[in-house]
Amino acid sequence: MTRRSSVPEAEDADRGRLLATAFRLLGTSADAEDAVQEAYVRWFRLASTEREAVRNVDAWFTTVVGRICLDVLGSARARREQYTGEWLPEPRPGSDLASPGAAIDPAERASLDDQVTSALMVVLDSLTPAERVSFVLHDLFGLSFVEVADVVGRSPQAARKLASDARRDIRERKVRGSSAVDHERVVQAFLAACGSGQLTDLVAMLDPSVTLVTDGGGRASMARRPVQGADRVARFMLGIIEKMAREGRVVEPSIEPVDGRAAIVLRESGAAPFVIMLNVVDGVVRDVWIQANPDKLGAWTE
């Protein structure tokens, strides 16, 4: 009879949860995969005695992935200075990846439901690396501030302050300004207004201070700077539609769940050249995000 070794195994870690954590921290599947893979490399570099000292393998991997992501986030801003145009997180089809659902004091949560939307992912990208890591690990994954402090290299009190600052920024940006039902209703009306070709119909759907951001990554011809104002955003959207029509492109739009909220997916020849996500506040569109970088739309490629 073979006796099982007392040394913890890498398989004891929840890889799916690690990927979900890394994705929320880094914003792309490729970066998340790299971070988790690096954590496994570090695990197998440990001596047997070091592995035996690990009491909770999943907690060890979560801490290491968090530290790797913190380092990546610290260098991401420099890398993005070389990125062509604006950078947006990678959209994910369907509902958000499941989170542990740990009980968290409601006073220490942002005003969010159980899913992570594109709007939240965009706001997360504006936080400092330490704020993002503290917020994601505590508010979304239920780690204690003692555990978060071990990742960010601060005291538990400082980790709590980082998460609180992130929470305040999210509230000020009015993420989740509408219910899922109201959000979908506005998305449907927005798509209908785009299809009408009438500038006034589309302008009526937009907040006067609406901002549109596109991410082509140098792979698709998109605006390299944000477009601001209802009239300019409406003209930009109608211009895209007119350009595709002139080129004879047959693109089928549909409303589908993306990051847990209704979004507009345009399909052409088995792929999605655009995914359009909206931030809806008080019944109008506050933000338009268009992901057109094919490197971030692989989930929609047949």
- List the strands of the sheet with 227-228, edge to edge: 227-228, 206-215, 284-291, 271-281, 261-268, 252-258
pTM above 0.75, yes or no: yes
Return the higher-pLDDT residue of 296 and 9.
296
> Collapsing DSSP states into helix, strand and coil, what is residue 254?
strand
Strand pairing category for 261-268 and 271-281: antiparallel
The pLDDT of residue 249 is 87
> What's the rounded Cα separation, in Å, for the pair 240 and 153?
47
Burial degree of 47 (CB within 10 A; 0-12, 13-18, 19+): exposed
Residues 66-87 have pLDDT tens digits of 999 999 998 877 677 778 889 9
Q: What are phi and psi of 115, to 5 degrees?
A: -115, 160
| Contact present, 276 and 259 (Cβ < 8 Å) | no
- Amino acid 222 reads M
For the chain, how many helices (H) and strands (E)? 11, 6
Neighbours of 17 (CB within 10 A): 19
Q: Which of 214, 206, 126, 225 is nearest to 169 (CA)?
A: 126
> What's the rounded Cα separation, in Å, for the pair 144 and 12?
21
The pLDDT of residue 100 is 42
| Contact present, 205 and 286 (Cβ < 8 Å) | no
pLDDT average, residue stretch 140-153: 95
pLDDT above 70: percentage of residues in the chain: 88
- Token pair 């798509």: residue: 191
Spell out where the chain has E strands.
206-215, 227-228, 252-258, 261-268, 271-281, 284-291
Residue 110 has pLDDT above 60, yes or no: no
The pLDDT confidence band at residue 61, using thresholds 50, 70 and 90, is: very high
Residue 96 has pLDDT above 80, yes or no: no
Residues 6+ apart with CB under 8 A from 131: 162, 163, 165, 166, 169
The angle subtended at Cα 209 by Cα 297 and Cα 189, nearest 5°, is: 60
The pLDDT of residue 221 is 81
* 140: region left, alpha or beta (phi > 0 left; psi from -120 to 50 alpha): alpha
Return the higher-pLDDT residue of 163 and 3.
163
Residues 6+ apart with CB under 8 A from 141: 17, 21, 62, 99, 100, 102
